[in-house]
Amino acid sequence: MVHIRPLFIGTALAAGLFATFGQAQSSGEITVMIAGAERTIPVWAEQSDWSGSEDWPSINIHVRDFTDNGEEPIVVSLGFEASRWEPSVPELDMSLYENKERVAVLYGREEQERGGLSVTLDDHSIDGTQLSISGSFEGKLGPSDNFGNDIDLSQGVPVTGTFSVTLEQLE
């Protein structure tokens, strides 16, 4: 007797794997300086992408580092719009860890009362579905009880950084 469900699941998984091998992946890194410590973090390829048009893209860069090199894990998400390649509405979220447990999530947004986060682009190019982009960011991050809508900058820390990434277009 043939079990159709396991056969179907196996076929679907294999098809997904072959499709993944044929696609280019997002790559690159963000270097972030926070609380006097600098860290270079690789792109989380499955979560980073761009969408929209060539003259009004929406950029989403997610990086994470869960290595066993003695450093604590870190997860950073940087997103912004770039109408005519002028960055706007930037958002940065950063998860900090101690002893491999998340101890804080810090947020920064464009408005001064939410961190005054700004993004500057140095270079960009599009080749098919791939966007290569580099630049820098700076602002202040603080905790929030509502995912960055209200940010407590009384406990805030300055953050600066650079990014150089190649992103796949979201389909």
Q: What CA–CA distances, in Å, run from 125 to 48, 78, 131, 163?
A: 16, 19, 6, 14
Indicate the pLDDT class of residue 100, thresholds 50, 70 and 90: confident
Residues belonging to the chain: 171
DSSP assigned state of 70? S
Q: Alpha helix (H) ranges present in 23-170?
A: none
Q: Where are the domains of the chain?
A: 25-168
Task: Enter the pTM of the model.
Answer: 0.83
For the ranges 30-39, 61-70, 85-94, the lowest mean pLDDT is seen at 61-70
Which of 111, 118, 108, 121 is closest to 156 using CA atoms? 108
**pLDDT tens sequence across 36-79:** 889 999 999 999 999 999 999 999 999 998 877 767 788 999 99
Cα distance between residue 3 and residue 142, in whole Å? 53
* pLDDT given at position 23: 53
Q: What is the CATH number of domain 25-168?
A: 2.40.128
Map tokens 């650079």 to a residue.
162
